[in-house]
Homo-oligomer: A and B are copies of this chain.
Amino acid sequence: MTIKPAKSMTLSDIARLAGVSESTASRALRDNPVINAQTRQKVQQIAADHQFKVNATARSLRTQKSHTIAVIILFDAKTQQAITDPFLLDILGVIADELTRQGYDMLLSSSKTTDKDWRSYYFDSKRADGLIVIGQGEHDERVEQLSAAGVPFVVWGAATGTERFPVIGSDNRQGAQLAVTHLLAQGCKRIAFLGDIRHTEIEMRYLGYQDALQAAGIKPEPKLQLNTDFTAQAGYLQTQQALFTELATLDGIFAASDAIAMGAMKALLEHNIKVPQQLALVGFDDIAMSAYCTPSLTTVKQDTHAGGKLLVAQLLSRINGGKAASQLLPVKLIERQSSLRKH
């Protein structure tokens, strides 16, 4: 039996219909055992019949909890366009699912919102109980401020060990080292790094790149590090440009993201450079498409599932008075065609 959605039922209406006080109705609806079982049953039945839903706003005001988490995606001020990296969607999906599972709503910020002062906007205004910040970008001081202000938040990014706030992220340095060591094992001698090291995560990947080279007795050449945005287009253009200078002498490329790698691959193939024979290529992220380009892309897989769950778990723990700790997630090298040379 579906009852016409009258104006809008309130707790007071339900109480009246059930012939009890608002307080009793409130407790009954939440199955408070202090209320007589029959009364509870009756109130719940009436509420169900009338499709009553607790007004979330009123509840939030009274309980001082919004049960909402704001997720803020940072990205380059330069690339003003909307979010495009598929990797983001991956982790966002996990976070969304996990928050839902824990009974929280997810408020998503956009590029433009990011202009605002999100502490004020989301936290001081009580829109959210906590924040998840994705991507530290180029050393954002706004994140530091959050920390100083005592706002519960966690960051997806790169833990450098010096932050005063919890950072969850992949072991970027280790991942890069795996990737580059793999390239070296495939016989590469001169490997370029495509990625913008002003981003902390990318900086860590660059360090891993250097680690691997040095371990092999190769001195890293700074000019082989090319700042590149997180897009296939940037990877393509950067590689094309590099063709005129260094590319002839390169035999490997480590791209800081799969999107960049795919752009690079396009440029290489256009110039009839054989991948992986002439030049081996490795990306980072393991987005869904990586397995399906040709040649398929060797890459470093980030465990987004564990990451998303951990972000949520740490934040909620912090909100509930506990501590949130930084954590490095292990990564895994996925070997595919773009780097595997037949021996």
Interface residues of A (CB under 8 A from B): 5, 8, 51, 53-58, 60-61, 66, 68, 82-84, 86, 88-90, 92-94, 96-97, 99-101, 105-113, 120-121, 124-127, 149-150, 231-233, 235-236, 259, 262-263, 265-266, 269-270, 288-289, 291-294, 296
In the complex, A57→B63 CA distance in Å? 11
Which residues does chain B contribute within 8 Å of A112, judged by CB atoms? 97, 100-101
Name the B residues within 8 Å of A269 (CB-CB). Answer: 294
CB distance from A142 to the nearest CB of B (A): 14
* Residue on B nearest A65 in the bound complex, by CB: B57
A107→B106 contact, CB < 8 A: yes
Nearest CB in chain B to that of A262: its residue: B292
Which residue of the partner chain B has the closest CB to A266? B292
Nearest CB of chain B from residue A241's CB, rounded to whole Å: 16
Q: Is the CB of B84 within 8 A of A111?
A: no
In the bound complex, residues from chain B placing their C-beta under 8 Å from that of A96 are 82, 108-111, 113
In the complex formed, the residue of B with least CB distance to A275 is B294
Query: When the two chains form their complex, are residues B125 and A55 in contact, meaning their CB atoms are under 8 A apart?
Result: yes
Residues of B within 8 A of A61 (CB): 55, 57-58, 61
Assuming A5-B150, A262-B289, what are 4 further A-B pairs, CB within 8 angstroms? A8-B124, A57-B127, A82-B97, A293-B294
Given the complex, which residues of B lie within 8 Å of A150, measured CB to CB?
Answer: 5
Q: Are A82 and B86 in contact (CB under 8 A)?
A: no
How many angstroms between the C-alpha atoms of A109 and B231 in the bound complex? Answer: 27
Complex Cα distance A233/B53, Å?
41
- Cross-chain contact A127 with B292 (CB below 8 angstroms): no
Question: Is the CB–CB distance between A289 and B110 below 8 Å?
Answer: no
What CA separation (Å) do A5 and B150 show in the bound complex?
A: 9
Identify the 8 closest CB pairs spanning chains A and B, nearest first.
Answer: A82-B93, A96-B110, A53-B124, A232-B292, A53-B125, A89-B89, A266-B292, A56-B125
Closest to A97 in B: B110
Measured in the bound complex, the distance between the Cα atoms of B96 and A74 in whole Å is: 14
Residue among A90, A127, A235 with max Cβ neighbours from chain B (10 Å)? A127
Q: How far is the CA of A94 from the CA of B150 in the complex (A)?
A: 32
Q: Are B266 and A296 in contact (CB under 8 A)?
A: yes
On chain B, the residues within 8 Å of A291 by CB distance are: 232-233, 266
Using CB atoms, name the residue of chain B closest to A116: B100
